[in-house]
């Protein structure tokens, strides 16, 4: 399953503010690529631009060798790119199961949807236990599991994960990162935006550092984890 993402010279503006400046990066099939940076560096803006929640002024986004820069958000989902937004955004007033089915609304093969749901329930038994419960009543960690599962229901080849550990207790943070590694092992490619730089780099095959809308460093996750400058600025070293 190919899921190669290539971004070249992406520029995003909010009015007069130049939020992303010639951002170029690559996420190779089967990798976890982490994007780290301070608050306001443009990490969430990049994911929103890639999933076309916001428009970019110039640049190229290619997925599996095909230019997807002009595709609508729903066409991007059909091509295999799915965004798990910051703050989880589960649908309140709807059950866990209804949230999952919404993730699969573009999948025509009902047997496949059923199979995928069974697999996710196996991976996250707590979601099966809470299947008929209002999604808004789940704990933060359970909501994050649901948000990721809902994205996987769309047959995602590439997950854009925005701050999955935000607001979670340390034990749950560990669990969420274990889940992310497991999802990668099962064949899904991941672009991860994360405030917890240490955890993000420790599971990343490759990583980029974003500062005020520009990529200022890139290397393997392990290299950045051991870089004295990164350590001092982002890892509390």
pLDDT digits (tens, 9 = 90+) for 121-133: 988 899 999 999 9
pLDDT value of position 237:
56
pLDDT value of position 69:
95
Mean pLDDT within 60-77: 94
Mean pLDDT within 73-77: 92
pLDDT value of position 181:
94
- Would you place residue 1 in the very low, low, confident or very high pLDDT band (cuts 50, 70, 90)? low
Domains by residue range for the chain, with CATH: 5-234 (3.40.50.300)
Please report, rounded to a whole number, the percentage of residues in the chain having pLDDT higher than 70. Answer: 99
Are 44 and 86 contacting, i.e. CB atoms less than 8 angstroms apart? yes
Give the side-chain half-sphere CA count within 13 A for 182.
Answer: 15
Rounded to whole angstroms, how far apart are CA atoms 1 and 4? Answer: 10
169 Cβ contact list (under 8 Å, min separation 6): 141
pLDDT in tens, 209-231: 999 999 999 999 999 999 999 98
Written as six digits, the tokens of 119 are 């697999």
pLDDT value of position 56:
95
212 Cβ contact list (under 8 Å, min separation 6): 40, 41, 42
Rounded to whole angstroms, how far apart are CA atoms 160 and 148? Answer: 10
- Would you place residue 236 in the very low, low, confident or very high pLDDT band (cuts 50, 70, 90)? low
pLDDT value of position 71:
94
pLDDT value of position 157:
94
pLDDT value of position 129:
94
Question: Phi and psi dihedrals of 115, rounded to 5?
Answer: -65, -45
pLDDT in tens, 26-68: 999 999 999 999 988 999 999 999 999 999 999 999 999 999 9
For 214: left if phi > 0, alpha if psi spans -120 to 50, otherwise beta; the answer is beta
Question: Phi and psi dihedrals of 109, rounded to 5?
Answer: -80, 100
Burial class (CB in 10 A: 0-12, 13-18, 19+), 186: exposed
- Would you place residue 170 in the very low, low, confident or very high pLDDT band (cuts 50, 70, 90)? confident
């Amino acid at each position: 399953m190919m899921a190669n993402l290539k971004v070249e010279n992406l520029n995003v503006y909010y009015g007069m503010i130049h939020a992303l400046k010639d951002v170029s990066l690559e996420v190779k099939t089967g990798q976890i690529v982490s994007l780290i940076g301070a608050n306001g560096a443009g990490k969430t803006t990049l994911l929103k631009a890639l999933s076309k929640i916001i428009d970019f002024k110039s640049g190229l986004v290619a997925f599996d060798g095909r230019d997807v820069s002009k595709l609508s958000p729903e066409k991007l989902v059909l091509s295999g790119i799915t965004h798990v937004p910051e703050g989880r955004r589960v649908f309140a007033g709807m059950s866990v199961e209804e949230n999952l089915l919404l993730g699969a609304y573009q999948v025509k093969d009902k047997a496949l949807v059923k199979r995928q749901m069974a697999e996710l329930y196996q991976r996250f038994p707590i979601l099966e236990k809470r299947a008929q419960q209002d999604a808004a009543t789940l704990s933060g960690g359970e909501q994050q599991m649901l948000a990721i599962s809902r994205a996987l229901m769309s047959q995602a080849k590439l997950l854009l994960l925005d701050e999955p550990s935000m607001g979670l207790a340390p034990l749950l943070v560990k669990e969420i990162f274990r889940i992310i590694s497991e999802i990668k092992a099962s064949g899904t490619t991941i672009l991860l935006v994360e405030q917890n730089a240490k955890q993000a780099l420790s599971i990343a095959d490759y990583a980029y550092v974003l500062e005020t809308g520009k990529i200022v460093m890139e290397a393997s996750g392990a290299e950045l984890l051991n870089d004295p400058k990164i350590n001092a600025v982002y890892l509390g070293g």
